[in-house]
Structure 1
Amino acid sequence: MTSSIRFLMCAPDHYDVDYVINPWMEGNVHKSSRDRAVEQWQGLYHILKDRAVVDLVKAQPGVPDMVFTANAGLVLGNEVVLSRFFHKERQGEEPFFKQWFVEQGFTVHELPKDLPFEGAGDALLDREGRWLWAGYGFRSELDSHPYLAKWLDIEVLSLRLMDERFYHLDTCFCPLTDGYLLYYPPAFDSYSNRLIELRVPAEKRIIVDEKDAVNFACNAVNVNRVVIMNKATDGLKQQLKTAGFEVLETPLTEFLKAGGAAKCLTLRVTEPIIPDHRAIATIESRILRLEGHLLDSGLINRALDLIVEGGGSFQVLNFNLGEQRQSTSSAEVKVTAPSHEVMETLVSQLIDLGAVPPPQEVCDINTETVTLPGVAPDDFYVTTIYPTEVRVNCQWVKVQKQRMDGAIVVSNTPQGPIAQCKLLRDLQVGDRVIVGTEGIRTVRKTESREQRNTQEFSFMASGVSSERRVELVVEQIAWEMRQIRDQGGKVVVTAGPVVIHTGGGEHLARLIREGYVQALLGGNAIAVHDIEQSIMGTSLGIDMKRGVSVNGGHRHHLKVINTIRRCGSIANAVEQGVLTSGVLYECIKNRIPFVLAGSIRDDGPLPDTQMDLIKAQEEYARLIEGADLILMLSSMLHSIGVGNMTPAGVKMVCVDINPAVVTKLSDRGSVESIGVVTDVGLFLSLLVQQLDRLTSRYQVAQLV
């Protein structure tokens, strides 16, 4: 028949499953029937011959997958971008396809040798010719997409593939006539699905389920209103019929064994140019630099994994390996993302790992001015726990008051530029807030191998485990607390009421009395139950010595609240002789500052409890300043809140019987933080015993 539509096919003269380069090939090596393959290929060939012109490229020995001509290249008008196959098993096809395109008069574009792109298997034109859908993630690299936009003068929309079964875009995605789309959403990441939904109206999106997807229903050939595929369920056929399409099924099971079907076996070589299309690629690339012990710390692997898992791709431009044991390594990595939005997210995460742009790249950060009090510009940079520096007037300026989840405000003073963290609620009209991620770096401590592996009393590496010997962990914490006290440092304790319930109150009180604690943070509850134990001998109505309920004990906490309220404050109760022991007593007697942050569930509350949440946060932050160690004792909400306020470099220990609590704190990423899964009363008892041992050793050493 006469038709303006032409396809390129290759007879399966040498087809077989000779190797494994996708999940469909596993278990199918040399299990394909050549006769059935020829029969099924002929079925597809004749269906297309009745509706279009079919050209043939000669099959070649040694390249059994040449039958899948969709991967020969990408055609638009008289231009073709030749494929660069990812796997060496298919790279032998390239010269044969190139020869065919040249002989047919196409202008052939060739990508850089090490930049994979697998043709119309991973690049599909919207059937109205408005844009090009381009896949990446398994066989084609994102960095190839700008070349497609430039050479073919068309807008490219990048889609990230997530399911290894659908390793090419055409295995799970099929644009149809009149702007319809047949596709399998679980094959894509959330960004790609959102992009699809923005470009294709809901009424034109035909979604297939997994049953149809694994039969390669999306690997279909569309000729006008006819859709040719391997197999479809009745439900899918009805959806297509409702949209005005005729479905033709033709068995292609022999080719499914190699991971292909109707679309894979064809390449449309008559793709008309639409006059009003434009070369656009939303893809963005940046060069970032990493320094440190990149290999043995795993930093380079974490960075590259983060890029790929976040929807980007990378190219390592330079890698300089440290020559000596103490030498650091450096790497320059080109990061590519499908959009500015994804790039900003990736770079923010890489900055957390210590990545920075090359010095010559950025001379100044970008800022926008606050126009509403307490409201930052939309694209403001969100701070982390790590010490941060920003680029101002081609110089790095250290950010003051570092903390998590703030904005960075830059101001000019006679002494030079100043940058500092501010919470959103503290932003004022006129503040210059940093937006985007350019010109920002975090300062990560580079540890030597000796520090990581051989320092006897180095603070434990970050992590959480309920299997570590608690005694060993406590020994290291005790040693650290002794050092901090003797050097005039600062230990802050965040404690929950479980400390009192488990019998740890007397041990915490002793730590305060002996100078190991310089500030106490908690809620109304720990103070109430500490005072209840001191005055009534109970905690939550349980006799702390006998471990039995006391008649009427459930009222005890309210009685002690009333007593303290009558005194006017905890300090007044101590002064009047009402409160004579306990954690809060020791704080008052030893002038240790404390903050009790209130909540909606508090009884009373005590007169010392700060019920203004913002003021309580401010007072917490003030007492955290200058801390060398924060000891978090069985208080999930207060511990997490304190963790978010604390910059990197402050050692943190979270003790809780619930592994989820210590994991939450460990997830901050600080290398100075550890979690101890154990009973907090037992922990405090062991801690006091270990401090006693250290004191005894010190006294013996003094005598000697």
Structure 2
Amino acid sequence: MSRTAVPAQERATREPRVATPRRLLMCRPQHFDVTYSINPWMDPRKPSDAGLALLQWERLRELYLSLGHTVEVIEPDPAFPDMVFAANGATVVDGKVLGARFRHVERTGEGPAYFQWFLRNGYRDVLWPEHINEGEGDYLTVGRRLLAGTGFRTDPRSHAEAQEFFGLPVTGLTLVNPNFYHLDTALSVLSDDEIMYYPAAFSPGSLAVLRELFPDAVTASDEDAAAFGLNAFSDGRHVVLPQAATGLADQLKRRGFEPIGVDIAELLKAGGSVKCCTLELRDR
């Protein structure tokens, strides 16, 4: 029997999970604030605390370092209070960088800022996109495939652009619930062949595709999805996720993962959590 044919819960009893050190890019929320609304989570009338956001972010960065990961930091621009959400800044696979082109005018300047960081740091195989895409917010790499979200932010024409650039198959998935406006709010990659996701966030056709590709996936409850439990980061063993997503944490434990709950609730006021703060630099 092939490895992929072994159900995940059975595999967890046979093979210990192995963490793979990752190289990550993050951006301090020094200028974090909710001054506009471009998703249902954002309400400028509710106070936000940049100091608390920075403290929670620093704890996340320190956790990554303690787990053996490398964290690079891009300088924040005071003009962009959402720049803390580094996952939206690009997609990096095999050392190739597909830049991000944002849909909303409030964030359009972030794309060039992240693109310039890659150029300054020696990346040469880079592409400024023709079509709107919001980086790893809507592009998630699972094994040698990209899962690509659309419906609220990323233009579906970008999917073909990404496939041509990376030379990897791209599977388009349509989001239908505005509370889950990016793919990384509704789906998380756990390993090269495992994911967890929230079924109600997807169109019927996309849900059928996910069930075909990942029949043994972890599925999130309404409560865990609303807590942004799917906006998580996995290194193959440790899964860092919002501490309120206790149901997901229990499921992950049963499958042999080590969930680590964190409090990053201040950033949720802008519609982001663990994964939104974390761009993986998949160098060759």
The alignment's TM-score, normalised by the length of structure 2, stands at 0.89
Contact 1:227 1:247 in 2 (8 A): yes
Matched, 1:197 2:217: no
Q: Which residue of 1 aligns with 2:117?
A: 100
Preserved contact between residue 4 and residue 270 of structure 1 (Cα < 8 Å): no
Residue 193 of structure 2: aligned partner: 179
Q: How many Å separate the matches in 2 of 1:160 and 1:80?
A: 23
* Residue aligned with 1:176, SS: strand
Conserved in 1, the CA contact under 8 Å of 2:99 and 2:128? yes
Preserved contact between residue 40 and residue 179 of structure 2 (Cα < 8 Å)? yes
Contact 1:18 1:30 in 2 (8 A): no
- Match in the other structure for 1:137: 151
| Partner residue in 1 for 2:272 | 260
Which letter does structure 1 place at the counterpart of 2:207?
A: N
The whole-number CA distance in structure 2 between the counterparts of 1:232 and 1:158 is 29
Question: What does residue range 424-573 of structure 1 map to in structure 2 within 5 Å?
Answer: none
Q: What amino acid is aligned across from residue 70 of structure 1 in structure 2?
A: A
1-structure distance, mates of 2:283, 2:227: 27
Within-5 A mapping of 1:597-608: none
Task: Determine the C-alpha separation between the residues in 2 that align with 1:173 and 1:236.
Answer: 12
Q: In the alignment, which of 43, 54, 58 is matched to residue 59 of structure 2?
A: 43
Letter in structure 2 aligned against 1:162: V
Correspondence for 2:75: 58
Structure 1 residue 39, shift from structure 2 partner: 1.0
Tell me the SS of whatever aligns to 1:66: coil
Q: Distance in 1 between matches of 2:189 and 2:115?
A: 26
Which of these residues, 216, 232, 251, is aligned with residue 220 of structure 1? 232
Residues 132 and 38 of structure 1: CA distance in aligned 2, closer, same or farther (over 3 Å): same
Which residue number in structure 2 is paired with residue 235 of structure 1?
A: 247
What CA distance in whole angstroms lies between the structure 2 residues aligned with 1:21 and 1:238?
Answer: 32
Of 3, 13, 16, 2:33 maps to 16
On the 8 A contact 2:224/2:247 being kept in 1, the answer is no
Matched, 1:207 2:219: yes
1:266-415 equivalences in 2 (<5 Å): 266-270=278-282
Q: Does 2:129 match 1:111? A: yes
Aligned residue pairs, count? 263
Counterpart for residue 166 of structure 1: 180
Distance 1:25-1:233 versus aligned 2 partners, 3 A rule:
closer
Where structure 2 has 5 or more consecutive residues not aligned to the other structure, the ranges are: 1-19
Matched, 1:82 2:99: yes
Per the alignment, do residues 234 and 57 of structure 1 end up closer, same or farther by CA in structure 2, a change over 3 Å counting? closer
Matches of 1:271 and 1:192, distance apart in 2 = 29
2:163 corresponds to 1:149: yes
Contact (CA 8 Å) 1:206, 1:239: kept in 2 or not? Answer: yes
Cα separation, 1, equivalents of 2:283 and 2:189? 13
Per chain length, whose mean CA-contact separation is higher, i.e. which structure has more relative contact order (CA < 8 Å, sep 6+)? 2
Q: Deviations along 1:654-691, whole A, 9 cap, x unmatched?
A: xxxxxxxxxxxxxxxxxxxxxxxxxxxxxxxxxxxxxx
The answer for unaligned runs of 5 or more in structure 1 is 273-704
> Is the contact between residue 227 and residue 246 of structure 1 (CA under 8 Å) also seen in structure 2?
yes
Whether the 8 Å contact between 2:99 and 2:115 is mirrored in structure 1 is yes
Q: Which residue of 1 aligns with 2:9?
A: none
Q: 1:178 to 1:151 in 2, by over 3 A?
A: closer
Residue type at the aligned position of 2:128: E
Describe the SS at the equivalent of 2:157.
helix
Partner of 2:138: 122
Contact residue 16 and residue 30 of structure 1 kept, 8 A = no
Equivalent residue number for residue 510 of structure 1:
none
- The separation in 1 between residues aligned to 2:265 and 2:81, in whole angstroms, is 16
Q: Secondary structure at the match of 1:260?
A: coil
Give the distance between the partners of 1:170 and 1:70, measured in 2 at CA: 9
SS of corresponding position for 1:264: helix
- Letter matched to residue 219 of structure 2: I
* 2:3 alignment counterpart: none
Question: Which letter maps to 2:35?
Answer: D
How far residue 83 of structure 1 moved from its aligned partner, in angstroms, is 0.4
Conserved? CA contact 2:86–2:279, under 8 Å: yes
Aligned to 1:72: 89
Normalising by structure 1, what TM-score? Answer: 0.37
Is the 8 Å Cα contact of residues 132 and 158 (structure 2) preserved in structure 1? yes
SS of equivalent to 2:208: helix
What is the Cα-based RMSD across aligned positions, in Å? 1.3
Q: Which amino acid aligns with 2:272?
A: G
SS at match of 1:24: coil
Deviations 1:371-406 (A, max 9, x none): xxxxxxxxxxxxxxxxxxxxxxxxxxxxxxxxxxxx
Is this contact kept in 2: 1:228–1:248, CA < 8 A? yes
- Looking at structure 1, the residues matched to 263 and 50 of structure 2 have their Cα atoms a distance apart, in angstroms, of 14
Contact map agreement 2:221 2:247 (CA 8 A) in 1: no
Counterpart residue identity of residue 205, structure 2: Y
- Report if the CA contact (8 A) 1:139-1:168 is conserved: yes
Give the 4+ runs in structure 1 shifted more than 4 A.
Answer: none
CA separation of 1:77 and 1:261: change in aligned 2, threshold 3 A: same
Deviation, structure 1 residue 30:
6.0
Distance (Å, rounded) in 2 between the aligned partners of 1:73 and 1:260: 16
| 1:234 Cα offset (Å) | 3.7
Kept in 2: contact 1:161–1:188 (CA 8 A) = yes
Q: CA deviation at 1:235?
A: 3.0
**Larger Rg over CA atoms:** 1
Distance 1:229 1:185 in 2: 18
Residues 337-396 of structure 1 show CA distances to partners (whole Å, capped at 9, x for unaligned) of: xxxxxxxxxxxxxxxxxxxxxxxxxxxxxxxxxxxxxxxxxxxxxxxxxxxxxxxxxxxx
**For 1:19-34, what aligned pairs fall within 5 Å after superposition?**
19-26=36-43, 28-29=44-45, 31-34=47-50
Describe the shift of the 1:97–1:234 C-alpha distance in structure 2 as closer, same or farther (beyond 3 A).
closer
**Do the aligned residues in 2 keep the contact of 1:123 with 1:169 (CA within 8 Å)?**
yes
What's the % identity of the aligned pairs? 39
Q: Which amino acid aligns with 2:139?
A: A
